[in-house]
Amino acid sequence: MSRNHDPRSGEVILDGKAISQYKPKEFARKLAVVHQQNEAPADMTVEKLTSFGRMPHKNIFSSQTDEDREAIERALACTNLLSKRDKEIHALSGGERQRVWIAMTLAQKTPMLFLDEPTTYLDIYYQLEILELVKELNEAQGLTIVMVLHDINQAIRYSDHIIVMKDGEIVTKGKPNDVVTESMIKTIYGVDVVVKQDEDTGLYMVPMGI
C-alpha cells in the first residue's frame, strides 16, 4: 500500500488511481509513512529533520517559503517538540525520536499516515504517548491512520477497524469488538486467551497459556 513492495496480484487504488501510476512526489503528497526503523545523522536537529517533510512540495532549487515554515511550525507544535527544535537527534529519547519522524510526516501535509509498528522498542510510557498522539491526529485533524500493531490490547483500544493477517493473507476484519475473540486469537497465534468486557476499560484480552 505504501509502494515498498509490488502487489502479487491486482492493484492498489488510491483516489481512483493505481498507486503504481503516481509519480514519487505526487504520491508523497497523498500518503506519508513512518517506518519501524528510521535512520538520520546523529547531529541533525529536530527542526531540520522535520523540514524534510516539505520535500514533496518543492524542487531541488526551491528555498523555504512561508508555507513551509508554517507547516514545520505546526508539525512541531502538534508533536510537542517546539522546545526541542534545536536539539540533535542523538540527544533525544526513543519516544522523542519517534515523535520527530511523525512531525516530519505532518510537515508533509498528507491526508493519510501509515505507521509500521510505531511502538516497537519503546517502554510503556512512550508507547502510550505515541498512540495518544496518533489518536489525536485522527480525531482532531481528520487524518486517516493505518498502523501495524502486534499488541492486541493496543489495537483494540486505538483502532476503529482491525484487519487480522496471517502469512500475508487477510483472515478477518471489522470493528475490534467483532474481530477480537478467543477463537480468533487461538487460530492466529496458537495461544489460549480470555477476552473480557469491562465497564471502565472496554474490551481487553488476557493470555492464559499455549
- Please state, as a whole number, how many other Cβ atoms lie within 10 Å of the Cβ of residue 79: 25
* pTM for this prediction: 0.89
* DSSP characters over 144-195: EEEEE---HHHHHHH-SSEEEEETTEEEEEE-HHHH--HHHHHHHH--EEEE
Q: Which residue has the higher pLDDT, 38 or 104?
A: 104
pLDDT at position 100 over 90: yes
% of the chain with per-residue pLDDT over 70: 100
% of the chain with per-residue pLDDT over 90: 84
Q: Which residue has the higher pLDDT, 187 or 3?
A: 187
Among 24, 144, 39, 141, smallest CA distance to 90 is for 39
Contacts of 66 (CB under 8 A, 6+ apart): none
pLDDT band at 168 (very low <50, low <70, confident <90, very high): confident
pLDDT at position 183 over 80: yes
Give dist(CA 125, CA 133) in Å, integer: 12
One-letter amino acid identity for 210? I
Give residue 205's pLDDT.
Answer: 95
Among 130, 131, 84, 78, smallest CA distance to 106 is for 78
Q: 14 has which bridge partners?
A: 17
Residue 63 DSSP SS3: coil
DSSP class of 55: G
Domain 13-148, what fold? Rossmann fold (3.40.50)
Q: What is the mean pLDDT of the chain?
A: 94
Taking only the tens place, the pLDDT of each residue in 4-42 is 788 788 888 999 999 999 999 999 999 999 998 888 998
Taking only the tens place, the pLDDT of each residue in 114-151 is 999 999 889 999 999 999 999 999 999 999 999 999 99
pLDDT at position 1 over 80: no
Give dist(CA 188, CA 10) in Å, integer: 25
Estimate the crossing angle of helix 66-78 against helix 94-107, to 10 degrees: 140
